[in-house]
Structure formats: C-alpha cells, structure tokens
Structure 1
Amino acid sequence: MKKISNFSLKKNNSFGVESVASVAYFPSTIDDLIELSGLNLSSFYILGEGFNTLLVENQSPIIVKPEFKGIEIDEGLNCTIVKAAASENWHEFVGFCIEQGIYGLENLALIPGSVGAAPVQNIGAYGVELSQYCQEVLWFDFETESVIKYQHKDCAFGYRESIFKRELKNKGLIISVTFCFPKKWTANLTYAGLDHLPASTSSKEVMNEVIKIRQYKLPDPHKLPNAGSFFKNPVIEHDQWQTLISEFPNMPSYPQPNNKVKVAAGWLIEQAGLKGYKAKGVGVHEKQALVIVNYEADCGEYVASLALYVRRQVAQQFNIILEPEVRAVFSKGEYNLTEYKNG
C-alpha cells in the first residue's frame, strides 16, 4: 500500500491552510484495507478531496486517502444502475451520467468532493438529495475486515446526515456507491432559481443552469479558498418560526415534516450584519453569507474562530444555533467544531 510520511495537506484541503500528517496511507484495493485495519490506528481521518474539511491545527492526525476508481453501468428494465468507486470526482461523475443519457443528478452539479463523501453528508442542492437515487453503499468494516453492503434503508439518510457520519464514523470506509436512476425522467424545477425554466428543459440544460447559479453565488475554491456552505440550514419548531416571521416577514423558510420549518442560514448570518465581515485573513463572503472564505490565513484556527463568532452572533439575535456542515479536524482526529474552545 502506498504510504507517505510527513504528508503536507496544504493542497489537499479547499481552505488552503497548512497542516501536516505524520503519515498518510493511500489504499486502492481490499488487500490494502485489510492491511490498514491491521495497523489498529488510534487517531486518523479519512480524507476525500478535502472540500468539506477544515484542518484546524498545524498538525493533523494520520490520514487515510482512498484511491478507488471506476464506473460500471447496468441497464435494467425501468432504471439504469450505476456503480461509482469512492474516489471518483463527484461533479465529473454527474457530467458523465448526463453524457451517457442517465438523468437525475443534474441539480447536484458542481458540488465539490468525491463520490464516496457524498453519502456521508447526504449531499443536496436545488431540491434534490443524493438519498433519492442511492441504492446501495459498499462499505469496508475495519473490525471484521470484511465488505458490507448497506442498502438504502440501512443508510439512515437525513438532512446532511447518514449512518456513515454517525454510528459508523471511523469504523470503516466507503468503497463505492450504487445509484438507481429511473428511465422515466422529469426535470426537478421546483427550487428558486430553476423555477423559471420550462418543463421541457433537458437534463443538460438544468445542469448548466445549476452551474451558472452556483458560479454566481459561490466563490470558486480554486481561486478563493472555501468549503462552500459552512453551516446547515437550521430546522426549527413551528412556534419559534411564527415568532420570528412576525418580526421578520421576509425570512426565507420552508415547511418540513413534524410541524417544523427550515430557515436559511445565510439569511440569518446576513441579518446579523456579518456579510462581508473580515478578521485575521478570513471572512464571510461578500455575496453569499453562508460561505466562509480564506483570503490569506495559513492556519485553520482563524477559520474556526470566525465560524464560532458567526454562530454566537446568530444565536444572540435569533435564538437559533447554527450547526457546521464542514467537518473540523484536529491533531487527534475529527471533533464537533463547537467543542473548539479558543474561539
């Protein structure tokens, strides 16, 4: 198995901060994973393309960076089954499917990261979530050194949640994801920004419109380091929403099951007066307040401190606690950013 000591992660995280791992492993076969599980690593982090990762400290834990590649297509009667290896680039995979005449993921175009990271977060955008098409996740379990198939019902998908993010965290890694795409396709144009398109819009046209919107709203991480949306859109009780909407009638909100309401985190941050705010080389993006960007800082500590400051300000004004969507990695592994005490 490929292995590199004193591995710099500066080019492997979208915030572009410096952090060094004592060693990084790059498994690409099941035998590599068996070897890896035999090492009994006490502190490690599984890194995809680093687009949803904040390296808070200059020293990172041991890094496991899978290198599983390949895409397989199987034509069924009513749907097309596509199996993609975990290390395939997500946006490239979306484009590949559309070019093959396989539709469904167009609303999820230009989301940075790998295929293997997508189920962990249950990525979603513009009215579509990965869970709508995910049929099966192939998982390697470190303890049993075996490959396990998790069907859709086993994945416990929720809003930016899954079993891989919770119960199975650090107990193994995703090898591949299998998708089921119905051959009868209808464009999902319900989300604001796409609702002006005609019903006859093609999948590729939807993808191009999504790309256009995302490029306008969100800074390119290759030009201005960031991890996209830093916080989840909070889901609050209906009673709290009624109180807020009476005071802020223009607050964007979306009804949810169980008498709850989802509100826009970016709007809350903007109303707290933080859009365009800068401190210590990092800041809240001037166009999209949900994005924290790194202008010139070399240390992730400043990004973490700003994120916690934003969280406090929103809580103070709206009594809503924002939860980070970005995964925070410290020298001893991944922890909830809210446990970070130096903010």
Structure 2
Amino acid sequence: MMTTEAADLQPLHTLGLLARAERLSRLTEAAQLAPLLAGAVAPVRVLGGGSNLVPGTTVDGTVIKVELQGRQLLGEDETAWYVAAAAGENWHDFVQWTLAQGWPGLENLSLIPGTVGAAPIQNIGAYGVELKDHFHALTALSLADGATTVFTPEQCAFGYRDSVFKQAEAGRWLIADVLFKLPKQWQPRLDYGDLRSRLAGEAITPQAVAAAVMAARQSKLPDQAVIGNAGSFFHNPIVPAAQADALRAAYPGLPVYPHAEGRAKLAAGWLIEQAGWKGRQLGAVGMYEKQALVLVNHGGATADDVRRLMQQVQADVAERFGVQLQPEPVWW
C-alpha cells in the first residue's frame, strides 16, 4: 500500500480533468483496508478505473485506488463455469481472457472501460446484455471497518445502470472480487441490427460476436487514450409508454425501446443530436462528433466546464422534447 498527499487525479480517470485528491492510497491487498481506514481522512472514496467519474478540482478526504489483482476458475457444474476476478482487474482484459479459456457469455460487454469491481455498481450493459445476466456473487469490504460481506444477485438489487451500491448502500462498500456464472449452453445475443449486419455471412462464435462489438464501439466512441471522455454521459431516459408514443408520433425517427411496467426507453444520443449538440463545443468540452451521447474533454477542462455543458444540453433537450436527461458519471 502506498499513500500520496495532494495526489494528481488527472491520469487516474478517463475524462482527464484537472483534479487533485487530498490523499490517495493504493490498495493492493484486501488485508490493507482495515489499517488504511484507521488512519484515513474522511470522507473515504473508492476509485477503480475512473471511467465513470467527474472529480472536482480539489477532492477532499481519502481516495482509495483499488489495485487488487487475480482471476481464476473456481468451479463448474453441468450448466456453467464459475469464474472469479479481483476488483482491480481491467474489465475488457478479463472478458477477453474468459473467451480465450472457452468460457463465453460476456462477449457483448467487450471494450467497456473500467474495472471488474466497478462493473456491478453500474450494472454495466451493452448490445442487449447486462452484467446481472451472468453475475453470481461478489465480496465487498466495509468502508467502516474492513469487514467482509458476500452479496447475492438479489441483495445487489440490479436495475438499468443501477444497483444497491448506487442507492441504499452507496459509499459503504469497497468491492473486492466478483464471481460470474458463465453458461455451457451458449446462445448468442444479437438483439441489435448493428451486430447482425457486422456478422452477416460469418460463423457465429463468442469470439466473432466480441469482435463485432469491438468494431461497433470503435466506430463511434473516442479512444480514451487520445481524447478524454467518460463514455456515455447521460442515461437513456425511461418514460411512460404514452409519452414515448406521443414523441414517436411527433418525431418518427426517434428510437424507442420497450421497458418494464408500461414504460419505454428513449435514445439519449438521438435527443441530444436533434437538439443540436452533436460535435458542438462549449469551452474546453463538447459532445463527440461521432456520438452525441459522449462528452469529451478537448484539453484543460475542469468539473465546472463539464457541469456547464451538461446543464445546457439538459435544458435544450427538455425544452424541445420535454424529457429530462440524467448524467451517468459519479461526481466528486
């Protein structure tokens, strides 16, 4: 474990904002947490890959950078392989490793940035698959005293880009490792036309699906190593089905997806583009030219710059469509 005062956070999150932490501690072993907490400056915050984060210029308290490593097959039965990964493992690398071992299921989640430990918090999802679809359990450490607790799928209360770790249990846990249940009877998920068209004429294998997902993402999302961004910046809004029907009648090109309980999901990127923000810049930040849902840092931006752009995009979408967009990233 290493602790740094007045630590530079700019290289530790993908949006690349100018930011410093009062104290930064790097956690490489779970046993380090309890003594770390005993000497921590409050508040205590947990940092994974920083791909879903908007830090302020000065972040008070202690930031714990999770660098726990390890991945292994814990067991199998007639239906599934049970594969565990430590929280600090890179998510995309872990997915590709499972595929290389012949354990499919996570291929649609290829190239999602971040760490394994952050994935359940957000219930990451892409191309018709969510993390909860292949989740079995996780081990979490209390940020009060370092004590260990195992969470089942039911206890995680997964929802759309949501979990108990963003709601009732927010700020109380550090996820140490995640256990996945990967199916032996694999069925491809090709719900999206983009994937079907990319796979036309090919043999449908988990590796082929992963390659198609990666190609699709790379065609419209900026490389975080080249231009700072936090991926999709806004949630796709969930609205009553009647409101979605009225909007689609007024705007026939609006993508609408069915959702549970008489509601529907709208495409936030389409709303933002129609509001005139695709490729448009406000100071040091803007909405990406190839995907209006992605907010990018053109260099030297701060959280204040991000907030100004976010609020302007929200106002313009609300004025035109009567829909309120909600940001995805965590704000520090």
TM-score range, shorter chain: over 0.9
Using the alignment, how far apart are the partners of 1:221 and 1:183 within structure 2?
34
Using the alignment, how far apart are the partners of 1:67 and 1:46 within structure 2?
11
- Hey, what does 1:178 align to over in structure 2? 179
> Does the residue aligned with 1:317 lie in a helix, a strand or coil?
helix
- The alpha-carbon deviation at position 218 of structure 1 amounts to 0.4
User: Structure 2 counterpart of 1:43, which letter?
Assistant: P
Using the alignment, how far apart are the partners of 2:24 and 2:299 within structure 1?
26
Structure 1 runs (4+) greater than 6 angstroms displaced: none
- Hey, what does 1:280 align to over in structure 2? 283
- The alpha-carbon deviation at position 37 of structure 1 amounts to 3.0
RMSD of aligned residue pairs (Cα, Å): 1.4
Deviations 1:35-92 (A, max 9, x none): 1332364213211111111113244542111221100102322210001000000000
Specify every segment of 5 or more residues in structure 2 that has no aligned partner in the other structure, as ranges. Answer: none
Using the alignment, how far apart are the partners of 1:58 and 1:313 within structure 2?
30
Q: Is the 8 A contact 1:280 1:297 kept in 2?
A: no
Using the alignment, how far apart are the partners of 1:53 and 1:244 within structure 2?
31
Using the alignment, how far apart are the partners of 2:51 and 2:194 within structure 1?
24
1:8 lines up with 2:5 in the alignment: no
Deviations 1:181-225 (A, max 9, x none): 110101111112112335941111111111101000101111111
Using the alignment, how far apart are the partners of 1:225 and 1:144 within structure 2?
35
User: Structure 2 counterpart of 1:14, which letter?
Assistant: T
User: Structure 2 counterpart of 1:9, which letter?
Assistant: L
Match of 2:211 among 185, 208, 211: 208
1:253 lines up with 2:256 in the alignment: yes
Aligned identity (percent) is: 38
> Does the residue aligned with 1:164 lie in a helix, a strand or coil?
helix
- Hey, what does 1:341 align to over in structure 2? none
- Hey, what does 2:103 align to over in structure 1? 102
TM-score (norm 2): 0.95
Q: Is the 8 A contact 2:42 2:61 kept in 1?
A: no
User: Structure 1 counterpart of 2:235, which letter?
Assistant: K
Higher relative contact order (Cα pairs below 8 Å, separated by 6+ residues): 1
Greater shift, 97-106 or 144-153, is seen at 144-153
Using the alignment, how far apart are the partners of 1:246 and 1:186 within structure 2?
35
> Does the residue aligned with 2:54 lie in a helix, a strand or coil?
strand
Deviations 1:100-151 (A, max 9, x none): 0010111000000000000000000000000000100101113353211101
Deviations 1:143-163 (A, max 9, x none): 353211101111000000001
Match of 1:244 among 221, 242, 247: 247
- Hey, what does 2:265 align to over in structure 1? 262
- Hey, what does 2:91 align to over in structure 1? 90
Using the alignment, how far apart are the partners of 1:259 and 1:172 within structure 2?
33
- Hey, what does 1:222 align to over in structure 2? 225
For 1:134-213, what aligned pairs fall within 5 Å after superposition? 134-143=135-144, 145-196=146-197, 197=199, 200-213=203-216
- Hey, what does 2:115 align to over in structure 1? 114
1:19 lines up with 2:23 in the alignment: no
User: Structure 1 counterpart of 2:261, which letter?
Assistant: N
Aligned residue pairs, count: 329
Using the alignment, how far apart are the partners of 1:221 and 1:40 within structure 2?
31
Greater shift, 56-65 or 88-97, is seen at 56-65
Q: Is the 8 A contact 1:56 1:304 kept in 2?
A: no
- The alpha-carbon deviation at position 279 of structure 1 amounts to 1.4
1:326 lines up with 2:329 in the alignment: yes
TM-score (norm 1): 0.92
Specify every segment of 5 or more residues in structure 1 that has no aligned partner in the other structure, as ranges. Answer: 330-343
Using the alignment, how far apart are the partners of 1:321 and 1:215 within structure 2?
28
